[in-house]
Structure 1
């Protein structure tokens, strides 16, 4: 009698180049233009400097993500790293803070897309665009639509071409109106209105563009030599993405000195029309909306999967969050909830909403840096201390910069973030019976819970089975 066939496993075929390209696609290079106006207002016309500061913070944090990804090559990212390195309760709260990124990211994506569409079609009410985005995206996600890798690659190429053409048109505009000497200037980095507080506030918003550089950790099981490749890919993704953001911001700031716009939420559209005319402004708008639409589908799907994982693991009520639609085999209730949260975009602006997202991100980034320091302490006690500069100095700098940027977020966003954390503490107290036991662990995978005896007797799968 032949042995049963082994279950299928993921194939390790991805190289460093493949993983870095995935990370860059996840970051969406065109987003630097989506938030350009609000960053310009915050920095008083010094956008490239804000991106340089954000890049510095991300590189320190990317270093720490690389260390933790090598030590714990599993899913869960910041939540898992903090849980295993520091404490399960703190890990839960970091996971709760990270939930801000996932839960409200679709809202921000739809808000940016709606702002640019309203700039082109001012006679159409803003709420029409927001509800339109939410309705179409939610319907597609409930039906379980899957975007082919080839289509994603085409969207990525389209984005890069639009961004590159935008930067070139900005430089051409400067050449035509100011001459070649104006191409090299320090004015985009600092002017008479530039201040440390303004740059810090702008960097706190600009960090939104970097969200996703750590997403390459999800490819660990499909990457060749992951403990070596993944840390390098995280750093390269942050560095290359940051380089694109700084160059594009520099060219844009040269073409439009200062920070005066008709509407800062759609400033890049105004600049596109000035440097490229109506035709290019239409192409730019199409590129931005396509990117926002694709990102919205992915973000809402990711949010629903995270809520599903938390519901399945009983971190959230299982009957609601761990349920699957019987026909479409998707977490339909979670998708609808993410869509409903998106309606908050009708009451927020781009600056506050991106800062709100970054509150969760900076909290997670800070604790990932601290996880590396905690790893050093544990290894030192075990008699095998790693390098101090790599496990203490660099992570400590990263943590300090992340906290600094966290403190310079929008006031309303900080207040909402602290309220969210307070709710997390209360919920953690409920889950742990007054903090007397460890919180349930989130597994962050797609495998359903084992079938119960009753399920097996009926010949059915256990609740919460997603189709692949």
Structure 2
């Protein structure tokens, strides 16, 4: 670990507000709005932009709370750090365990989405073959230890944004030139619109926002972090949300309703409709770039989380705390994530994104509550604006996140509940029946 400590000691505050925001938006992968369009449309009864508006509101309140805690604890942090500091180490452990559900299974969802679109382009090839190919390539790269430079990530994001802009422009052109049967407000509400349906769609749409909170891990490399990190987290969520709303609105005009040949790869069929085979091919290229880059980063992130837990004794140290000689990579964690990824063959995009969001919404709710507890522990006599900022807004954020958590489907609650139960049992074992403090599980929500 000496090498890692030396790297930590050498960190320089070189990032400004713009660089932090750009990194956060790149992490979110803007094209994901197209990758999950079909499942969100089906869940929301065809009101995808409304679902994203509700998800954005929830994320902005949560981003505000992340910013508050980042200012209070200006170190590279996470839900685990904030909840542990404000509420207590045992709740912090459970927050870290819940966010681990998010990041441990995130590669599975990424590979499944990518495979679904490749199967739509090449229907003769089974989805499982593409899932295997994604797992094989990304696992090999992560074991070798290849690190994609920041500039390369920005180039990939630029290509994603270009494809997304072309998709939006062609969708709008298709709406103006062809009678799609949609009115100007149809994507936002229709005869089948209900709050329950929009909320269910928002619970899935929130998957697109995963990563805005990772900006907090840049705290020690950002200039004036107490000022810039809260702004960067808010700006990242807002910019990402606006992109998602605009893109889903344009697609909703071009293809109103929820009738898709394949709901998991709905945008591929829409691409063919609005631009023919050429646009469909460009779209697939964009999705491959998006899912490949995201898959490499997500697997690297999750494997580092497992390594941190092994290093700290939360998981068996001899297995998960092991680094391959010369390569210095957590090979067992990478391999385990790859093996788990094969379960994507038996899952749908809707099911996999929903239980991923169980971990995210649970941790987000706890982060909002940690702001309130932090405020109450200051023993100060706050004024009205202080109460609104430190209690009112986080409380609204916690209630919205809890409602979206409730809006997830039954499989998500079952899988998430089992995961939480395992975490409680693990916490009881590690703390000798909850009598001792848990191990210090240093979890960051970004790859080292």
Range of TM-score over shorter length = over 0.9
| Contact 1:308-1:331 within 8 A present in 2 as well | yes
| Contact 1:175-1:183 within 8 A present in 2 as well | no
Give distance in 2, aligned partners of 1:347 and 1:222: 41
| Contact 2:15-2:223 within 8 A present in 1 as well | yes
| Contact 1:108-1:353 within 8 A present in 2 as well | yes
Give distance in 2, aligned partners of 1:178 and 1:221: 53
| Contact 2:217-2:444 within 8 A present in 1 as well | no
Matched residue, 1:455? none
SS in 1 for 2:439: coil
Give distance in 2, aligned partners of 1:309 and 1:74: 17
Matched residue, 1:190? 189
How does 1:17-36 map onto structure 2 within 5 Å?
A: 17-36=18-37
Matched residue, 1:117? 118
Matched residue, 1:265? 264
The range that moved more, 207-216 or 183-192, is 183-192
Matched residue, 2:440? 441
Counterpart check, 1:58 vs 2:59: yes
Matched residue, 2:222? 223
Q: Structure 1 regions of 5+ residues with no counterpart?
A: 447-465
CA offset digits 1:415-460 (Å, max 9, x no partner): 00000000100010000000000001122479xxxxxxxxxxxxxx
Q: Structure 2 regions of 5+ residues with no counterpart?
A: 1-5
Give distance in 2, aligned partners of 1:257 and 1:213: 29
| Contact 2:67-2:229 within 8 A present in 1 as well | yes
Matched residue, 2:237? 238
Shift of 1:186: 1.2
Give distance in 1, aligned partners of 2:279 and 2:374: 51
Matched residue, 2:415? 416
Give distance in 2, aligned partners of 1:6 and 1:354: 34
Distance 1:146 1:262, change over 3 A: same
Matched residue, 1:454? none
| Contact 1:110-1:133 within 8 A present in 2 as well | yes
Give distance in 1, aligned partners of 2:209 and 2:116: 21
Matched residue, 1:67? 68
CA offset digits 1:126-161 (Å, max 9, x no partner): 110011110111111100011122211110100000
| Contact 2:368-2:398 within 8 A present in 1 as well | yes
Give distance in 1, aligned partners of 2:97 and 2:17: 31
| Segments ≥4 residues shifted beyond 4 Å | 5-8, 382-386
Matched residue, 2:404? 405
SS in 1 for 2:429: helix
Counterpart check, 1:212 vs 2:211: yes
| Contact 2:76-2:218 within 8 A present in 1 as well | no
Matched residue, 1:310? 309
Matched residue, 1:351? 350
Give distance in 1, aligned partners of 2:66 and 2:7: 33
Give distance in 1, aligned partners of 2:396 and 2:444: 32
Distance 1:7 1:76, change over 3 A: closer
Shift of 1:184: 7.0
| Contact 1:75-1:443 within 8 A present in 2 as well | no
TM-score w.r.t. length of structure 2:
0.95
| Contact 1:171-1:183 within 8 A present in 2 as well | no
Number of equivalences: 441
SS in 2 for 1:387: helix
After superposition, the CA RMSD in angstroms is 1.9
CA offset digits 1:18-40 (Å, max 9, x no partner): 11110100000000000000000
Give distance in 2, aligned partners of 1:414 and 1:311: 27
The range that moved more, 381-390 or 247-256, is 381-390
| Contact 1:47-1:188 within 8 A present in 2 as well | yes
Matched residue, 1:175? 176
Give distance in 2, aligned partners of 1:111 and 1:162: 21
Distance 1:44 1:70, change over 3 A: same
CA offset digits 1:252-284 (Å, max 9, x no partner): 000001010000000001000100110011000
Give distance in 2, aligned partners of 1:6 and 1:113: 34
Flag the structure with larger Rg: 1
Shift of 1:8: 5.5
Matched residue, 1:136? 137
Shift of 1:330: 0.5
| Contact 2:79-2:96 within 8 A present in 1 as well | yes
SS in 1 for 2:178: helix
Shift of 1:384: 6.0
CA offset digits 1:158-212 (Å, max 9, x no partner): 0000001100000000111149xx9971111000011111101100000000000
Matched residue, 1:151? 152
Distance 1:47 1:6, change over 3 A: closer
| Contact 1:75-1:444 within 8 A present in 2 as well | no
Matched residue, 1:275? 274
Give distance in 1, aligned partners of 2:114 and 2:442: 33
Give distance in 2, aligned partners of 1:443 and 1:6: 16
The range that moved more, 183-192 or 249-258, is 183-192
Shift of 1:13: 1.6
